[in-house]
Amino acid sequence: MPVPIIQVDAFTAHPFGGNPAAVCVLQEPRDERWMSRVAMEMNLSETAFLHPIADGYLLRWFTPAVEVDLCGHATLASAHVLWSEAHIDPNATARFHTKSGLLTCKKKGSWIEMDFPAKLEQPAEAPPRLAEALGAEPKYVGKNQFDYLIELADEHTVRTLKPQHHLLRDLPVRGVIVTAPGSGEYDFVSRFFAPGSGIDEDPVTGSAHTALTPFWAARLGKTEMNAFQASPRGGHVKVRLEGDRVCLAGQAVTVLRGEFLA
């Protein structure tokens, strides 16, 4: 039986911006090998697979190379699909049971707000050749269970960075977040590199903002901030720190509908 698949651009209000994710809403679980092969075929940074359970949906995320424990933009895309394709009532909360626990999404006008656990980083020693891999000298190095978080000198350095992905690929983490204070409408900017997970640069990374939000809240003295991920596609994320939780808000737009026949 054909399996519907929908491609969504997340953290943007316009097609071909933000971060694309594929979403498969299944009627029943499929085996891990099939999901991995679908993610390889889609060749996007993430493909989300979800199916209904008693209290919401079970949600898993796959890159073309590996399954991951937390993904923001594909969660945003999944919630968008549940509402836009009438799987759940437009006023209902989308509830996802994941490897990172229960994640919820609510509609706030044209925005979708996600409730995620904060992933605090701690100061860490810079791994060998980090500055060489990034092409810039770190101002601060931190690490959490997923990623290194690197503060760089300024926004311009973040935006113009040209890292050596083959060197970053050797780091024993999911990815590397680089960040600096923002200017104008944005409190901070960031980029995210994850060549070891099969993604040289992720366009907009919700899960990275679960570390960036508490990091910048402590430094800027505010709990609500506007963030911009300065990849070539770019994406706007509204963030709010609430204790040990981070609320991330973004927009999303459907760009493609299709069916898998295999």
Q: Which amino acid is located at 143 in the chain?
A: K
Q: How confident is the model at residue 141 (pLDDT cuts 50, 70, 90)?
A: very high
Share of the chain above pLDDT 90, in %: 92
- Name the helix (H) or strand (E) containing 151: strand 147-151
pLDDT for 262: 78
Q: Average model confidence (pLDDT) for the chain?
A: 95
Q: Are 214 and 118 in contact (CB under 8 A)?
A: yes
* Rounded CA separation 260/161 (Å): 38
- The closest of 261, 217, 257, 262 to 6, measured between CA atoms, is 257
pTM of the model: 0.90
- Name the helix (H) or strand (E) containing 57: strand 56-62
pLDDT for 203: 94
Query: 3-107+250-260: which CATH topology?
Result: Diaminopimelate Epimerase; Chain A, domain 1 (3.10.310)
Superfamily of domain 122-243: Diaminopimelate Epimerase; Chain A, domain 1 (3.10.310.10)
pLDDT for 1: 79
* Rounded CA separation 232/28 (Å): 37
* Rounded CA separation 80/84 (Å): 6
Query: Catalytic residue positions?
Result: 46
**If you average pLDDT over residues 139-151, what whole number do you get?**
96
pLDDT for 122: 97
Q: Are 191 and 203 in contact (CB under 8 A)?
A: no
**If you average pLDDT over residues 24-50, what whole number do you get?**
96
Could you tell me the residue ranges of all domains in the chain?
Answer: 3-107+250-260, 122-243
Judge whether 3-107+250-260 and 122-243 match in fold: yes
Task: List the end-to-end C-alpha distance of the chain, in Å, as a whole number.
Answer: 8
pLDDT for 198: 83
- Name the helix (H) or strand (E) containing 28: none
Please provide the DSSP assignment of 24-40 as one string: EE-SS---HHHHHHHHH
At 65-115, the pLDDT tens digits run 999 998 999 999 999 999 999 999 989 999 999 999 999 999 999 999 999
pLDDT for 199: 87
